[in-house]
Amino acid sequence: MQLLEASNGVEALKIWEEQSSSIALLVTDLVMPAGVSGQQLAGRLRELHPGLKFIFTSGYSAEIAGRQPQLRSGENFLQKPFPPDQLLGLIRRSLDKGKG
């Protein structure tokens, strides 16, 4: 398993174009710089890969962040701050879910 890192949504879309076949899960903040929010990023990637799994995070209250996302199957939300083991556990459960 490999971790790919992007500093904003625009960069994440470029990484997706180059490495989409190796991406199984996206962890994204709801509020990001460069004009592409986490929800917008997820919407674009969901169109390209409907089975992609998502974990959304935010340190803002739901009101400031524009409310928590409406979660679909394969999507989760973690309110910041959270301990690393909570994120790791959610990543593991997300990747394992749906495996036969």
Comparison of pLDDT for 26 and 61, the residue scoring more: 26
Task: Examine residue 2 and state whether it is found in any structural domain, yes or no.
Answer: no
Task: Examine residue 34 and state whether it is found in any structural domain, yes or no.
Answer: yes
Instruction: Enumerate residues 6+ apart whose C-beta is below 8 A from 33.
Output: 7, 8
Mean pLDDT to the nearest integer, 32-42:
89
Task: Examine residue 92 and state whether it is found in any structural domain, yes or no.
Answer: yes
> In terms of C-beta density within 10 A (0-12 exposed, 13-18 middle, 19 or more buried), how is residue 78 classed?
middle
Predicted structure pTM score = 0.84
- pLDDT per residue over 59-75, tens digit each? 876 555 555 566 777 78
Task: Examine residue 86 and state whether it is found in any structural domain, yes or no.
Answer: yes
Predicted confidence at residue 62, as pLDDT, reads 59
- pLDDT per residue over 83-98, tens digit each? 999 999 999 999 998 6
Predicted confidence at residue 74, as pLDDT, reads 74
pLDDT bucket at 13, cuts 50 / 70 / 90? very high
CATH code of 65's domain: 3.40.50.2300
Question: How many domains would you assign to the chain?
Answer: 1
